[in-house]
Amino acid sequence: MLSIGIKGQQQITVTSEDTAEAYKSGTLQVLATPRMAALMEETAWKSVAAYLEAGMGTVGIRLELDHLAPTPAGMKVFCESVLEQIEGRKLIFSITARDEKGEIGKAVHERFIIEEEKFQRKADQKNG
């Protein structure tokens, strides 16, 4: 059952493909902010996926992120999400990311529970 307090965890090792240079969000060989955002979203959606009815999923609708410190390629990054609030179909998570030296990011992330096929059909209709 979907309930407040559900936690999710993910871990990556930063590779050259995860860097600001690769994401074109900068020129350095450090974890790109867009990559950290993707890791945070992945951690949150995976944490609740098993608690949803068949055919249901979640989509991100808001991400307020602070990237606090750089992480070089080769270092591990650990991400944890906590489901803090449930407001109807809206889920609100707090998320933290840290590397082997300490905290590197924090976020508040909102996701909305949707019927996957219906949502995809609606999106596909934009193509005419």
Q: Which residues are catalytic?
A: 33, 41, 67
- Provide the whole-model pTM: 0.95
Domain CATH number, residue 39: 3.10.129.10
Alpha helix segments (H runs only) across 1-128: 20-23, 33-49, 116-124
Q: What is the pLDDT of residue 2?
A: 96
Q: What is the pLDDT of residue 128?
A: 80
Look up the domain containing 11 and give its range.
Answer: 7-127
Confidence of residue 126 (pLDDT cuts 50, 70, 90): very high
Residue 1 lies in a domain: no
Residue 2 lies in a domain: no
Q: What is the pLDDT of residue 7?
A: 98
Higher-pLDDT residue of 116 and 128 is 116
pLDDT over 70, % of the chain: 100
Q: Could you read off the pLDDT of 43-90 as tens digits, one per residue? A: 999 999 999 999 999 999 999 999 999 999 999 999 999 999 999 999
Kindly provide the residue ranges of all beta strands, DSSP E only, lying in the chain, ordered along the sequence. Answer: 7-13, 56-67, 76-87, 90-99, 102-115
| Mean pLDDT over each residue of the chain, to the nearest integer | 97
Q: CA nearest 77: which of 21, 32, 126?
A: 32
Q: What is the pLDDT of residue 33?
A: 98
Q: Could you read off the pLDDT of 101-114 as tens digits, one per residue? A: 999 999 999 999 99
Number of domains in the chain: 1
